[in-house]
Chains A and B, each alone.
Chain A
Amino acid sequence: METLSRRDDIEVVRALRERDEAAFTKLTREYHSSLLRVAQIYVSSQAVAEEVVQETWIGVLNGLDRFEGRSSLKTWIFRILTNIAKTQGQREGRTLPFSALQRPGLVPEPALEPERFRAPEDPSYPGHWSSPPQEWNAPEGRLLGGEVRGVVERAIEQLPPAQRAVISLRDVEGWPADEVCNAMGVTETNQRVLLHRARSKVRRALEDYVSEAQ
């Protein structure tokens, strides 16, 4: 999905101030899914996350006169979202997911089970495949078909919220890394850790699916 540039930001803000309903609808549609994903990091349920997104748009409208273009409109909107979502999360008695965002590497989470590799004390090839990946014989067309998409969707739903948000923004929505870092307030390194874990698990889910189907 195409993302807005700085110059477009000014146009969008002007359109909103001129009460251009179509511009508002376009903006809310464009960011809905990504706002929802980021809100879900902080609150307990999809329903609450949707309320947070709604509240965010009210906050955006009410704050529009204060938008000075020092950050991108996108970053500014996500800052409003994050503040609302954090407050809501605290109200629900949830502890802030500080470690999930700021120290995602704290707990090791290997891409694959250690049993897939030879033991570190293996005399000839420590750390090399003992159970290498098998060929995915399915034709590319089938891999991109609806059933497989469903497998990937479910795998993403089951990810921890911070990983789910990163893979959704990067790989589903196609945002560049720096925009995801700004929107989520994470460093580039942590963004990569989250993305790597998410992608590894989704690949793993596909592997299970393909091996069962073959």
Chain B
Amino acid sequence: MTSVEQLSCQELVELVTDYLEGALPEDERQRFEEHLGSCAGCRKYFDQMKTTLRVTGKLAPASLSPEAEEALVDAFRNWRSP
């Protein structure tokens, strides 16, 4: 298939983020989607990237330690105090 040969799998994996970010020019976006439509390996890779994003989205951001928070609240209370 000529359309598949236009974009290799090795090239496609480097374009996944640009694709997901909507940053690919129209012709390249089409080549990306055509390749994905006919290549099971790349489809799997692409799905795994999306799964990765879902798992990353489940992580809890680091939270302030109680000591650090207390120090900040103290600083706030003393703010502009004589």
Contact = CB atoms under 8 A, between A and B. Distances in A.
Contact of B52 (A110, A173, A174, A203): A203
B10 to A, nearest CB: 4
B14 interface: yes
Given A61-B75, A196-B18, A172 B9 contact: no
Given A25-B69, A61-B76, A117-B8, A153 B13 contact: no
A11 interface: no
Contacts of A206: 48, 51-52, 55
Could you say which interface size class chain A belongs to?
A: 35 or more
Contacts of A140: 51
Secondary structure type dominating chain A contacts = helix
Contacts of A114: 10
A25 B45 contact: no
A135 interface: yes
Contacts of B45: 132-133
Interface string A178-210: 000000000010001001100110110011000
Interface string A132-169: 11111000100110001100110010000000000110
A195 B56 CA distance: 12
Interface string A86-128: 0000000000000000000000001110101100000001111
Shortest 8 CB-CB distances between A and B: which pairs?
Answer: A127-B8, A132-B41, A33-B61, A196-B17, A127-B10, A33-B62, A129-B41, A171-B56
Interface of B: 8-11, 13-14, 16-18, 21, 23, 39-42, 44-45, 48-49, 51-59, 61-64, 68-69, 71-73, 75-77, 79
